[in-house]
Amino acid sequence: MKKAFVLFLAALMGFSMFACTAKPAETTPATEEPAAAADPATEASAEAQVELSDKTFTAAMTATPTSLDEGFSTNTHCRQVSPHIFETLFTFDEGSAVIPQLVDTYTVSEDGLVYDVTLRRGITFHDGSTFDADDAVASVERYKMNSTYNGALDTVSVEKVGDYEIKFTLEEPLALPSLLAFPQRVIMIPKEIAETHMGVELDDAALIGTGPYMLKEWVRDVHIVLERFENYVQDERYEGPTGFGGKRIAYYKTINLEAVTETEARIAGLETGEFDFAEELPPTSYDRINDNSDLTATILKPGKSIVVEFNHAEGFTADPNFRKALALAIDPTEVLMSVSSGRTEFFRLDPSLYQPEQYFYTEAGSEGVYNAKNLDKVKELLAAANYNGEEIVYLYNKDFANHYTAGISLIEQWQAAGINIVPKLQDWTTQLSIAQSLTGWSINQSSYSPRFDPNQVRSMIHSGTLGGYGFSDAEVDEYLEAIGRGGTNEERLAIWEKLQARIWETLPFLKFGDSLSLSAIRADIQGYTPSYVDRFWMVHE
């Protein structure tokens, strides 16, 4: 039996610093590589021996995207496809640190308000035109008008300085490179397309990027076919790929992404060789895949954070004593065992919003609150909150299996601790609508996909945000503002550690741990690096 392996998101490549700055704009290496990680030089050398193929790589996905224009979609499947087609000025490496992609060098003024950016030369779009400053400026202006994250760059102006030079001017310091990286990625498209699609979603003919693959065919809800872009310019500053950037090579001529909604069909197709890859497989299929010498099972890290959110606008969950009682009433291992069907390979205890493979990982502030079940303390906290058995409405759903299975354990544990939980099972759309109304509920079951940068946390916990559900804390806001102003990665990490400590003190939400998903690939396929967002530009036989 071929032993299945776990590959880590942070374990692929180191990288060099490319920005030459007046005020250092460093790109910090990813978290330390596990001992089992491949040696980058050896791996890069091995890849250099691989020839390009005229074959097709076929992946069985749970669905196809509803859009391939990231300014109009927050869907994971859009993120899976889009990086093959499009590139950005900056992107994220394997450890979620910001690195240049279409930027050659940049400098930051001492006051942090001016970024002078020099673009890489010789980059070609899929339509044959050359990428230059006009395209970059138009693409950023379109993003400011279209993005689902509209507002992030409202106070930022961009102008052309030379054919390959642009200038960003800020009203106040911001972590601009991370805002230009993700989410939603500020994709670079030809000026003519950007100017004719201001406020309009890109149609199929307008999906023109600079990435290693071009869109060949898109049949909604059936498949997406990508074809190698023969004039793609690899980023030779890197020894190999890292995250969404680095040196990317399109080994397969064609990538076929098939929508296969039935789990059994994805597994069966993988076993017969119809598919080369299959995503989102149930933990119960792990042994079946692991026992098949033709397949390699992969447990993806980072995973999804299993969390509950609180109604801070009304009821007992507006009281921090009650929220802490909810935390201390729970053994998170029991919750995660329920989520993973009892398979310990598919969860881990983890108090950090950023997971161990990510640069911003920290356990700051979690001691004594996370994984610290104490029913005597729960009684004290409930008394301090003047709780006397009133109904506590808990919203959950079956649309996401991990929401429902987490709920089974949480309901049981909270009720055993003397908290009168009233479960309300809804479909996800209805649950979200009720939660956003801020009335008639106390606890909202959810899960968070991996965050790439602390700027993404703002929409979850800053005062006045929809995702904060009434949460407001001046100290949290202060840290969010500080981390959003930018600085080096080291400076931002120091702020993030203080922010997470404050999160565990105030509990705007409560995390139980990481749920890890299963995917599988044919054993004769090399070069696949598992990720929350699947990437196929390096796979080869």
**158-184 pLDDT per residue, tens:** 999 999 999 999 998 888 998 898 756
Cα distance between residue 533 and residue 220, in whole Å: 20
Identify which has the larger pLDDT, 2 or 115.
Answer: 115
Of 230, 279, 280, 223, residue with least CA distance to 255: 223
What is the model's pLDDT at position 74? Answer: 65
What is the model's pLDDT at position 23? Answer: 36
Q: Using an 8 Å Cβ cutoff, are 139 and 186 in contact?
A: yes
Please give the average per-residue pLDDT across 141-163, as a whole number.
Answer: 83
Of 96, 99, 88, 319, residue with least CA distance to 184: 88
Helix axes 332-339, 401-416, angle to 10 degrees: 150
150-154, 377-381, 394-398, 525-529: least confident range? 150-154
Q: Using an 8 Å Cβ cutoff, are 257 and 81 in contact?
A: yes
**pLDDT above 70: residue 202:** yes
**pLDDT above 90: residue 447:** yes
Please give the average per-residue pLDDT across 201-218, as a whole number.
Answer: 97
Q: Cα 304–30–535 angle (5° rounding)?
A: 55
Using only C-alpha atoms, what is the Rg of the chain? 23
> What phi and psi values does residue 347 have, to the nearest 5 degrees?
-155, 165
**pLDDT above 80: residue 8:** no
What is the model's pLDDT at position 382? Answer: 99
What is the model's pLDDT at position 183? Answer: 54
Collect all residues with Cβ–Cβ distance below 8 Å to 506 and sequence separation of at least 6. 320, 471, 473, 476
Identify which has the larger pLDDT, 103 or 12.
Answer: 103
Q: Place 155 in a pLDDT band, splitting at 50, 70 and 90.
A: confident
Cα distance between residue 370 and residue 360, in whole Å: 18
Amino acid at 12: L
The mean predicted confidence, pLDDT, of the chain is 89
Q: What pLDDT digit, counting tens, does each position of 302-358 carry?
A: 999 999 999 999 999 999 999 999 999 999 999 999 999 999 999 999 999 999 988
Please give the average per-residue pLDDT across 218-244, as a whole number.
Answer: 96
Cα distance between residue 232 and residue 120, in whole Å: 13
The full DSSP string for 86-136 is ---SEEE-TTS-EEESSEEEEEE-TTS-EEEEEEPSS-B-TTSPBP-HHHH
End-to-end, the C-alpha distance of the chain in Å comes to: 21
**What is the share, in percent, of the chain residues with pLDDT greater than 70?**
89
Q: Place 241 in a pLDDT band, splitting at 50, 70 and 90.
A: very high
**pLDDT above 90: residue 223:** yes
Find where tokens 């004290």 sit.
380
Q: Using an 8 Å Cβ cutoff, are 136 and 190 in contact?
A: no
**pLDDT above 70: residue 191:** yes
What is the model's pLDDT at position 184? Answer: 66
What is the model's pLDDT at position 458? Answer: 86
What is the model's pLDDT at position 41? Answer: 41
What is the model's pLDDT at position 48? Answer: 56
**pLDDT above 70: residue 531:** yes
What is the model's pLDDT at position 439? Answer: 97
Task: Return the sign of the alpha-carbon dihedral for residues 410, 338, 466, 381.
Answer: positive
154: how many CB neighbours lie within 10 A of its CB?
8
Q: How far is CA 109 from CA 30, 100, 119, 169, 487, in A?
A: 26, 18, 18, 10, 11
What is the model's pLDDT at position 42? Answer: 42
Please give the average per-residue pLDDT across 426-437, as a whole number.
Answer: 92
**pLDDT above 70: residue 519:** yes
Strand partners, 281: 518
Collect all residues with Cβ–Cβ distance below 8 Å to 412 and sequence separation of at least 6. none
Please give the domain boundaries of the chain with CATH numbers for all domains. 40-262+518-522 (3.40.190.10), 304-515 (3.10.105.10)
What is the model's pLDDT at position 72? Answer: 78
Cα distance between residue 324 and residue 395, in whole Å: 19
Q: Quick one: DSSP state of residue 507?
A: -
110-114, 178-182, 235-239: least confident range? 178-182
Cα distance between residue 76 and residue 350, in whole Å: 23
> What phi and psi values does residue 83 have, to the nearest 5 degrees?
-65, -20
